[in-house]
């Protein structure tokens, strides 16, 4: 950021709330490692969720812990699928059965084997709902329940996303309403995290707010040079709560000030790449969810 040595030398210091260009607001909200990593992990993780997790058989608990009755059934057809479990091909089994005087048809799945068409089989039926049934020894979905494990990947992505969007929203708000101050580095602590084999460091800066109180602004980053290149670093803090603060050089949007002390818009060539993965994730997965619900 193009900065002056003291906050009082800039018009920015005395005119909140101030105008924040949309390009700068978007860059602050969606920029940074947590957002990039989070959107990538979430976007790719959801692909595995739709393929495997959404097709995991979660009915096992129902058949184990609720009353079940058995009835004779007949295999109507058997189809091989393109999926496999432990290198064993998954088969889709269409079957028919009678329960409580009614005729029903349903689908079950099995890995590695399948009964022949017209074979007589035993069907397990939930007493609570006779439409919920499976051929004994099969399952009601393409993959076993363990396939739901893939949900861990989008959840990890959401964790990073939550952190990134929270910090981005805080930075965007403080760009508009925050007061400017300078902070002095008072502590430097290594965390257990690392990025590209570089340790993430927690930097704490002490500053004096407008009311004379002392507060601390923190930044966690693996790229510490921009935050350690001056005796005092510029920061923005919430005048209503000085403990809510952000170092200007830690904002992913890299805000710049024009000669009049107003924020300059960010070049869209640098903003658009930040939006590609979020837009693809939201549109792609949201569209697939809508298609799934409406089909």
The domains of the chain are located at 7-33+164-289, 57-142
Listed residue (62, 31, 97) closest to 253, CA to CA: 31
pLDDT at 1 over 50: no
List pLDDT tens digits, range 166-187. Answer: 999 999 999 999 998 999 999 9
Sheet holding 233-238, edge to edge: 214-221, 198-208, 179-195, 233-238, 241-247
- pLDDT classification of 238: cutoffs 50, 70, 90: very high
- Which fold would CATH assign to domain 57-142? OB fold (Dihydrolipoamide Acetyltransferase, E2P) (2.40.50)
What's the burial of 115, exposed, middle or buried (CB within 10 Å: 0-12/13-18/19+)? buried
Torsion of CA 102, 103, 105, 110, to 10 degrees: 80
- pLDDT classification of 12: cutoffs 50, 70, 90: low
In this predicted structure, what is the pLDDT of residue 15? 65
pTM above 0.85, yes or no: no
Is residue 154 within 8 Å of residue 41, measured between CB atoms? yes
Task: For residues 169 and 189, give the distance between their C-alpha atoms in angstroms, rounded to a whole number.
Answer: 25
Task: For residues 110 and 93, give the distance between their C-alpha atoms in angstroms, rounded to a whole number.
Answer: 8
List pLDDT tens digits, range 77-89. Answer: 999 999 999 999 9
Share of the chain above pLDDT 70, in %: 95
Token reading at 234:
């510029």
């Amino acid at each position: 950021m193009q900065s002056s040595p003291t906050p009082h030398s800039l018009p920015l210091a005395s005119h909140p709330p101030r105008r924040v260009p949309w390009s700068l607001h978007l860059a602050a909200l969606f920029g940074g490692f947590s957002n990039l990593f989070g959107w990538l992990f979430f976007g790719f993780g959801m692909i595995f969720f739709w393929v495997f997790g959404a097709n995991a058989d979660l009915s096992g608990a129902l058949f184990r812990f609720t009353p079940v009755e058995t009835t004779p059934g007949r295999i109507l057809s058997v189809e091989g699928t393109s999926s496999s479990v432990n290198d064993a091909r998954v088969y889709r089994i269409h079957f028919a059965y009678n329960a409580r005087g009614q005729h029903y048809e349903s689908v079950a799945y099995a890995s590695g084997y399948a009964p022949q068409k017209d074979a007589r089989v035993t069907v397990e039926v939930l007493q609570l709902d006779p439409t919920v049934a499976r051929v004994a020894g099969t399952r009601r979905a393409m993959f076993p329940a363990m396939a739901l494990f893939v949900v861990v990947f989008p959840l990890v992505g959401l964790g990073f996303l939550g952190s990134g969007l929270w910090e981005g929203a805080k930075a965007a708000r403080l760009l508009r309403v925050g007061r400017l101050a300078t902070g002095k580095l008072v502590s430097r602590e290594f965390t257990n995290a690392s990025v590209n084999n570089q340790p993430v460091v927690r930097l704490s800066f002490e500053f004096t707010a407008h009311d004379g109180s002392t507060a601390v602004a923190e930044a966690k980053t693996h790229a510490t040079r921009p935050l350690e290149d001056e005796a005092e670093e510029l920061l923005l803090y919430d005048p209503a709560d000085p403990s809510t603060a952000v170092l200007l050089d830690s904002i992913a949007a890299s805000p710049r000030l024009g000669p009049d002390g107003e924020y300059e818009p960010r070049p869209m060539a640098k903003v658009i790449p930040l939006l590609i993965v979020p837009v693809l994730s939201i549109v792609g997965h949201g569209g697939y969810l809508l298609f799934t619900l409406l089909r």
